[in-house]
Amino acid sequence: MAQSIYTDLASEARELHPDLPGVSEETVQKGDIGVTRIRVETAQAAQALSKPIGRYITLDVPKLSERPLSLFAETSKALAKELQALFAPLDEEATVLLVGLGNRTVTPDALGPRAIDQIYVTRHVAQYLPDAFSAPVRSVCAIAPGVLGVTGLETMEVVRGVVAHVKPSLLLLIDALASRRTARISTTIQLTDTGIQPGSGVGNARAGLGRDTFGIPVIAIGVPMVVYASTISQDTLSILAAEMGFAQKEDTLRALAEKVAEENFGPLIVTPKDIDSIVTDMSRVVADGINMALFGASYEQVRALIA
Amino acid sequence: MAQSIYTDLASEARELHPDLPGVSEETVQKGDIGVTRIRVETAQAAQALSKPIGRYITLDVPKLSERPLSLFAETSKALAKELQALFAPLDEEATVLLVGLGNRTVTPDALGPRAIDQIYVTRHVAQYLPDAFSAPVRSVCAIAPGVLGVTGLETMEVVRGVVAHVKPSLLLLIDALASRRTARISTTIQLTDTGIQPGSGVGNARAGLGRDTFGIPVIAIGVPMVVYASTISQDTLSILAAEMGFAQKEDTLRALAEKVAEENFGPLIVTPKDIDSIVTDMSRVVADGINMALFGASYEQVRALIA
Amino acid sequence: MAQSIYTDLASEARELHPDLPGVSEETVQKGDIGVTRIRVETAQAAQALSKPIGRYITLDVPKLSERPLSLFAETSKALAKELQALFAPLDEEATVLLVGLGNRTVTPDALGPRAIDQIYVTRHVAQYLPDAFSAPVRSVCAIAPGVLGVTGLETMEVVRGVVAHVKPSLLLLIDALASRRTARISTTIQLTDTGIQPGSGVGNARAGLGRDTFGIPVIAIGVPMVVYASTISQDTLSILAAEMGFAQKEDTLRALAEKVAEENFGPLIVTPKDIDSIVTDMSRVVADGINMALFGASYEQVRALIA
Amino acid sequence: MAQSIYTDLASEARELHPDLPGVSEETVQKGDIGVTRIRVETAQAAQALSKPIGRYITLDVPKLSERPLSLFAETSKALAKELQALFAPLDEEATVLLVGLGNRTVTPDALGPRAIDQIYVTRHVAQYLPDAFSAPVRSVCAIAPGVLGVTGLETMEVVRGVVAHVKPSLLLLIDALASRRTARISTTIQLTDTGIQPGSGVGNARAGLGRDTFGIPVIAIGVPMVVYASTISQDTLSILAAEMGFAQKEDTLRALAEKVAEENFGPLIVTPKDIDSIVTDMSRVVADGINMALFGASYEQVRALIA
């Protein structure tokens, strides 16, 4: 299918190009959690997938849609493990800066800012009360810079100055993503060491946010929260084309589908009716996983610290 | 098209049966507001449209999607006028009971409860402080009974007792609706003197709420807030069938479309990303219109009373 | 001190009359949770305390102010235990109706409605899907009727009709209370089998809600969420009078204090800055305890059902 | 009285030192709005008042507590007028950066961030779509940097980088204040060209935010949202001391009052029960006034642009 079909997920882009060379992939299933690790290794593969060279790890946890408490905990633990593998080794004195992308007042876009609220920040304690902790504690700070339409400022313009001043060793971005499958809303988490690309995410940063921009490692954590309504239109066509044996007409159908989608459903998003609860749950799962990874803490320790 | 295509709007049901006998219809355009008045006059027409015999008035205000302040005021005024025509004459001493249907904690379903918060209630003042008003003031009370899944109670079970005790002369229901067109989300208001049918609305009351249930006139005011994702799938097919000249295959396509929609997009809804602001705006437009109609007040008076 | 000092807590009223006959009292400390069980046994005692004859159980958990997760769980368990003792025995087929008092849109008054959102309601399932549960399950329903100023309806007017129709065997009321001590905000839970008295609570129902009103047992569960600002003024005076040895002038001081409080701080309440989080936490603690008591479930079962 | 009595308002500090030299003051009443303009002119006066040398303008609008719509508009207009006088002349090409201080998730501290949401930002439009406006439009951008306890970052650390990059000609800070009088909550607006001092405001920035910090003019706009509970305790004492003729004992009383307040009511704040609505109203009044001042727009234009 055409590149016009947008997805923030490398695993979905990969599904559309299953035989593309320059990509390595492995999937491990452990209980209810599937972990797919994709490496985009060549510039050609990067261009075909519209995803930069780098590592992409996807946690797929379909049963999260049933909202079982214990699976939230398991998912946080799996996220922590993958995250630690992705940023290790990190010096004990290193400072980590978290950035929650998105618009807090638009529910499906609020994942980043609401996860930031639940991160255990320590930088100021270490700075003002150096004796508050008995053992050395990772220095963590966090910011939710808002979106261009509300601030008139690019995310990069806000974060750049903080990076210059705070001099973190690692940047962790959290963002709501757009997926191609409604089933992935709130059941998938993607980690990548490539940062965020221009125009990605629900909030649509214009400037890319990666190692090139800031000169330090940048890890992005994203959860699909919306599917563009046009995707449903396109999916309907694909399914129909397959079922009706219209293979020969697929190009015509696809062109039509894109036209129909753009004219009729362009800027609309599909989101579950209970998106408020979903953002509450998933921002906590993400924040718990990050807190565990950054502080080497257990799930129970993290829940007790933050609640 | 088949009855499987669900809509809460009589005007949309009518569009699917433009030549059905037993239905009268008139449309008036005044500035940015179109008013369509439909009467379902026969049992046959009622069955074909899945809408009971009665009056259905639709305000279509496409420019509301641009959120101009003055049009909010104009729409409230037009709503007040249609509403007064629908319930007049109403005795000066008559009590009106408003019921805000839907689930306050699910944004697209919160229109009813949030409109109720903005209704000017007077019954208790009239009762406990009879001299508080210099002139007689309409007695108004209001309740948001919640939804079955949260309360374990049918709306009817809650409202029935209040009606028996308060003995209102008129029941006014406010509800979020499901439409077939995404463009109608938040830009259409429907009034009807038939109440709410079982299974209608986003909140899905099981028991019908009409004159039959309560023995008094019941007017329902609804605003489309969601489109089922399956509708987009079905619309895509219809548009394609038309454009590709598949007329002869329409039955096959439709059957397929329903299957695709049900399997892939069943319970999902389509809603704009800024649904929070939309519910805030439209619950105010509806409450303003009701306040104006019930108290014979101007827009300015109503805004001053409630803000 | 005078009766003019208002408190919803029987234990605080008791502190002001420590030697009053006709009152029995016992206190048990278990870990971080203190349980005080007071019985008001005579009409004279009831009048002196402004609390009807009946049982009052207070859980005092000062460390809740530090918000440790495990103590939330322990408090829910203690609440469940006291609650079960208070309403037992309850027939297996008996229906329980919960009523969340207060105004959902005013944070410190939202405890009741927000607890209701988290109660596991079953009545409709038992009614519409009798085979959904493998074993008999307690029939539970719940309503948040709103406050007089918003609805124009007395709580009693709404609840009475539901009681007449649903015929519950037990009524459970949940309400935010006013305490005399800021330290009790969110750290104390009171249970009583006397229901709610007129003018009690933050929401100020005018009619009493007790066994007399409804003809069935009524248990009220309340958590102090506010202290009237005038209380601080009065407390300042008492403390000063004690410290300065003004005993002989106490009457004069008290009269002055009441005048000062009324003129300067009358309708104001004192509430912690993070009242939003506190209402979130405590509505969950109360709902968890009730769910455990009603369904004979463990804490883990309850959290899994509701989350 | 002692400096221990904290207030963010220069006019309240002035009331405690009515005869202090080095301070000029004028008050103008226009309809329901009183405007007090204070100049702190000497270092001695600055120290005595704990307010830096500079201009302080206070709008006192007691009737705002009755929430009349038209007075909101009048207050916004008065604010716009004073604000323009304070920052004029401002070059047409100059960029203005607004900073909303405070914690968005703690209601009484959310004024700044919520006002920011309603500011009409234009900088990105001017930058990316230079032809979008027919006439030159003031370049405005805005940020809500969060509070130290949530971000681990000083406000200054976030704003400094943005200032360095955006190079605004004026910095406008918006913050919730602490007042000494409960009657001033939400009825007073203070403007000052001295910025924000360390430890001021509800959010308690540690570093000062003024011309010294950023090298450009800094105007701060604040609205009292809380009174510390200890203030009520202190006020009670003052009133009593006056009424009882304890003048000779005032020092003893004051020392006692401070001790009582600190031990019993230290970190508590007093805030009206309907603080949610108040923050909604006042963030709009402030944002409207700022939008009018920055864009030279009428109230009606501003409401139409933003709603």
Kindly report, residue by residue over C245-301, the tens digit of the pLDDT.
Answer: 665 566 666 676 667 666 666 666 777 777 888 999 999 999 999 999 999 888 877
Is the Cβ–Cβ distance between B44 and B170 less than 8 Å? no
Q: Is C96 on the interface with B (CB under 8 A)?
A: no
- D-chain CB neighbours of B307 within 8 Å are 67-69, 72, 281
Q: Is D270 on the interface with A (CB under 8 A)?
A: no
Angstrom distances, CA of residue D165 to CA of A82, A153, C255:
35, 10, 62
Is the pLDDT at C307 greater than 50? The verdict is no
The pLDDT score that the predictor gives to residue A116 is 95
Distance from CA of C182 to the nearest CA of B (A): 30
Contact A265 B240 (CB under 8 A): no
- Give the mean model confidence (pLDDT) for residues D130-138: 73
Return the residue in A240, A249, A281 with the most chain B beta carbons within 10 A, the one to mutate for interface testing.
A240
Q: What is the nearest CA distance from B215 to chain D, expressed in angstroms? A: 38
Q: Is D192 helix (H, G, I), strand (E, B) or coil?
A: strand
Highest-confidence segment of A125-139, A266-280, B168-182: B168-182
- Separation of alpha carbons D234 and A121, rounded Å: 36
What is d(CA A302, CA A296) in angstroms, rounded to the nearest whole number? 10
pLDDT at A267 exceeding the cut of 90: no
* Closest CA of chain D from B77, distance in Å: 18
Instruction: Classify strands D218-228 and A218-228 as parallel, antiparallel or unpaired.
Output: unpaired
CB C142, CB C122: distance < 8 Å: no
Q: Who has greater pLDDT, B126 or D304?
A: B126
| Option in D105, D140, D145 nearest A117 (CB) | D105
Q: What is the pLDDT of residues A22-74, one digit of tens each?
A: 999 999 999 999 999 999 999 999 999 989 999 999 999 999 987 777 899 99
- What is the model's pLDDT at position A202? 55
Contact A253, A260 (CB under 8 A): no
Q: Round to whole Å and give the CA distance between A140 and A147.
A: 22
Task: Name the residue with higher pLDDT: D204 or D222.
Answer: D222
Q: What is the DSSP letter of A9?
A: -
Task: For chain A, give the mean pLDDT.
Answer: 85
Question: Chain B interface, mutation test: which of C151, C156, C290, C306, most B Cβ atoms within 10 Å?
Answer: C151
Confidence tier at C227 by pLDDT (50, 70, 90) = confident
Chain A residues with beta carbon closer than 8 angstroms to that of D140? 152
CB contact under 8 A, C143 and B146: yes
- Which residue shows structure tokens 């807090």? A104
Tokens of B63: 């420019």
Q: Any chain B CB within 8 A of the CB of A246?
A: no
Residues in Cβ contact with A74 at an 8 Å cutoff, skipping those fewer than 6 apart: A31, A32, A33
Q: In Å, how far is D70's CA from the nearest CA of chain B?
A: 8
Q: Where are the beta strands (DSSP E) in D146-217?
A: 170-179, 188-192
Contacts of A281 in chain C (CB under 8 A): 307
CA C16 to chain centre: 19
Q: What is the pLDDT of residue C57?
A: 98
How far is Cα D27 from Cα A173, in angstroms, rounded to an integer? 51
Tell me the residue type at A133.
Answer: F
| pLDDT: which is higher, C29 or C131 | C29
Q: Of A5, A10, A7, which Cα lies nearest the Cα of A40?
A: A10
How is residue A195 written in tokens? 């940062």
Q: Highest-confidence range of B81-90, C294-303, D206-215, by mean pLDDT? A: B81-90
By Cβ distance, the residue of D67, D70, D304 closest to B68 is: D304
CA–CA dist A205, C127 (Å, integer)? 51
Query: What is the Cα–Cα distance from D100 to A150, expressed in whole angstroms?
Result: 12
Round the average pLDDT of chain B to a whole number and report it. 85
C75 touches chain B (CB under 8 A): no
φ, ψ for residue D230, nearest 5 deg: -65, -30
Angle ∠(D299,D303,D307) on CA atoms, nearest 5: 170
Q: Is a pLDDT exceeding 70 seen at residue D267?
A: no
Residue C109, phi-psi category: left (phi > 0), alpha (psi -120 to 50), beta (remainder): alpha
Instruction: Select from A200, A222, A238 the least CA-distant residue to A100.
Output: A222
Give the pLDDT confidence score for residue B248 in this predicted structure.
58
B274 touches chain D (CB under 8 A): no
pLDDT per position as a tens digit, C43-61: 999 999 989 999 999 999 9
- With CA atoms as reference, the chain B residue closest to C95 would be B152
* Residues of chain A positioned with their CB less than 8 A from the CB of C67: 307
Q: What chains are in contact with D, requiring at least 3 Cβ pairs below 8 Å?
A: A, B, C
pLDDT mean over A257-285: 78
| Interchain contact, A304 vs C72, CB within 8 Å | no
The number of helix segments (H) and strand segments (E) in chain D equals 12, 9
Interchain contact D305–B (C-beta under 8 A): no
Q: Which pLDDT does position B303 carry in this prediction?
A: 72
Closest Cβ–Cβ partner in C69, C72, C307 for A69: C307
CA Rg value for chain C: 20
- Decide if B232 and A235 are in contact by the 8 Å CB cutoff: no
Please name the chains neighbouring C, where neighbouring means 3+ C-beta pairs under 8 angstroms. A, B, D
List of chain C residues whose C-beta atoms are within 8 Å of the C-beta of residue B123: 152-153
Percent over 70 (pLDDT), chain B: 82
Specify the amino acid at residue A69: L
> Cα(D54)–Cα(D57) distance, rounded to whole angstroms?
10
Closest CA to A51 of A87, A23, A82, A75: A23
- C274 in reach of chain D (CB within 8 A): yes
Q: Report whether pLDDT(B235) > 80.
A: no
Neighbouring residues of D183: CB distance < 8 A, sequence distance ≥ 6: D62, D65
**Sign of the alpha-carbon torsion through C173, C178, C181, C182:** positive
The reply to whether B268 touches chain A by the CB within 8 Å rule is yes
Please give the pLDDT value at position D169: 96
Please state whether the peptide bond connecting residue A89 to the residue before it is cis, i.e. omega within 30 degrees of 0.
yes
CB C109 to CB D273 under 8 A? yes
**pLDDT of B132 higher than 80:** no
Q: Does A260 touch chain B (CB under 8 A)?
A: yes
Q: Which of D177, D181, D240 to mutate to test the interface with C (most CBs of C within 10 A)?
A: D240
pLDDT at C201: 55
Pairing of strands A54-60, A33-40: antiparallel
Query: What does the pLDDT look like over C234-253, one tens digit per residue?
Result: 777 777 777 666 655 666 66
Do C70 and A304 make contact, defined as CB atoms within 8 angstroms?
yes
Alpha-carbon gap, residue C205 to C8, rounded angstroms: 13
Task: Using CB atoms, pick whichever of A142, A146, A150 lies closest to residue D151.
Answer: A142
Contact between residue D224 and residue D179 where contact means Cβ atoms under 8 Å apart: yes
| Rounded-to-10 torsion of CA A295, A296, A301, A304 | 20
Question: What is the distance between the alpha carbons of residues B294 and B80, in angstroms, rounded to a whole number?
Answer: 8
